[in-house]
Amino acid sequence: MLFPTLTFGLFFLAVYALTWAVRGSNEWRKILLLLASWVFYGAWDWRFVALLIFSAVLNWGTAALIARTDEEWEAGRRKALLVFGVAANLAILGFFKYYDFFLEQLGVLLHQFGFERDMPLLEIILPVGVSFFTFQGMSYLIDVARRKVPPASLLDMTLLMSFFPHLVAGPIVRASDLIPQFRQTPRLERGMVAMGLLLIVWGLFKKAVVASELSVNLVDPIFFDPSAHSSLDLVIAAYGYAVQIYCDFSAYSDMAIGLAALLGYRFPFNFNQPYRARSLQDFWRRWHISLSSWLRDYLYISLGGSRGGVWKACRNILLTMLLGGFWHGAKWTFLIWGGLHGIVQVMETLWRKFRPQHWPLMPAAIAIFITFHIVTLGWIFFRAETFDGAIAFLGGIGRGDWGATIATPLMIGLILFGMMIHFTPPTLAQGIALRLRSVPALLLGLGTGAVILIIDAMRFEGVAPFIYYQF
Segment 74 to 93, residues that bind other proteins, using CB under 8 A: none
Q: Which of 177, 220, 282, 401 binds other proteins (CB under 8 A)?
A: 177
What are the residues whose beta carbons fall under 8 Å from the beta carbon of 387, sequence distance 6 or more?
A: 332, 333, 336, 381
Least spacing, CB of residue 206 vs other proteins, in Å: 15
**Alpha helices for 22-147 (secondary structure H):** 26-42, 47-68, 75-93, 99-112, 130-145
Q: Which amino acid is located at 393 in the chain?
A: F
Nearer to other proteins, 14 or 80 (CB): 14
Q: Is 293 in the site for other proteins (CB under 8 A)?
A: yes
Smallest distance, Å, CB 262 to other proteins?
7
Q: Should residue 165 be labelled a site residue for other proteins when binding is judged by CB under 8 A?
A: no
Question: Among 213, 219, 291, which residue's Cα sits nearest to residue 250?
Answer: 291
Known catalytic membership, residue 422: no
Decide: is 449 part of the binding site for other proteins (CB under 8 A).
yes
Nearest residue (CB) to other proteins, 140 versus 382: 140
Q: Is 90 or 410 the residue whose CB approaches other proteins more closely?
A: 410
Query: Is residue 448 near other proteins by the rule CB under 8 A?
Result: yes
Nearest CA to 355 out of 279, 284, 438 is that of: 279
State CA 379 to chain mean position distance. 15
**Selected binder of other proteins within 68, 111, 147, 352 (CB under 8 A):** 147
- 413, 414, 420, 425: CA torsion to nearest 10: 130
The binder of other proteins chosen from 157, 243, 257, 336 (CB under 8 A): 257
How far is 27 from 452, CA to CA, in rounded Å? 34
Shortest distance in whole angstroms from residue 177 CB to other proteins: 6
Is residue 266 a contact residue for other proteins (CB under 8 A)? Answer: yes
Sites for other proteins among residues 4-23 (CB under 8 A): 5-7, 13, 16, 20, 23
Contact 213, 460 (CB under 8 A): yes
Q: Which is nearer to other proteins, 332 or 460 (CB)?
A: 460
Cα–Cα dist 161/201, whole Å: 25
Binding mask 363-402 for other proteins (x = CB under 8 A): ----------------------------------------
The DSSP symbol for 43 reads T
Distance CA 69, CA 137 (A): 19
User: Interface with other proteins includes 187 (CB under 8 A)?
Assistant: yes
The residue (of 36 and 390) whose beta carbon lies closer to other proteins is 36
DSSP letters, 266-326, are -PPP--S-GGG-SSHHHHHTTSSHHHHHHIIIIIITTTTTTTT-HHHHHHHHHHHHHHHHH
Which one among 49, 82, 168, 199 touches other proteins, defined by CB under 8 A?
199
User: 328, 341, 358, 422: which is the annotated catalytic residue?
Assistant: 328
427 contacts other proteins (rule: CB under 8 A): yes
To other proteins, the closest distance from the beta carbon of 310 in angstroms equals 28
If binding is defined by CB under 8 A, does position 42 make contact with other proteins? no
- Options 161, 219, 247, 433; binder of other proteins; rule CB under 8 A: 433
Q: Before 409, cis peptide (omega within 30)?
A: no
Distance of alpha carbon 369 from alpha carbon 275, whole angstroms = 9
- If one asks whether residue 463 binds other proteins (CB under 8 A), the answer comes out as no
Alpha helices in 384-408 (DSSP H): 387-398
The answer to whether the beta carbons of residues 266 and 181 sit under 8 Å apart is: yes
The CA–CA distances, whole Å, from 290 to 154, 171, 174, 197, 295 equal: 24, 6, 9, 21, 9
User: Is 268 one of the binding residues for other proteins (CB under 8 A)?
Assistant: yes
User: Please, what is the minimum distance in Å from the beta carbon of residue 176 to other proteins?
Assistant: 4
Among 185, 302, 424, 430, binds other proteins (CB under 8 A): 430
Q: Which residues are catalytic?
A: 328
Binding site for other proteins (CB under 8 A): 5-7, 13, 16, 20, 23, 147-150, 174, 176-177, 187-197, 199, 213, 257-258, 261-262, 266-269, 290, 293, 404-406, 408-410, 427, 429-430, 433-434, 437-438, 441-442, 444-446, 448-450, 452-454, 456-458
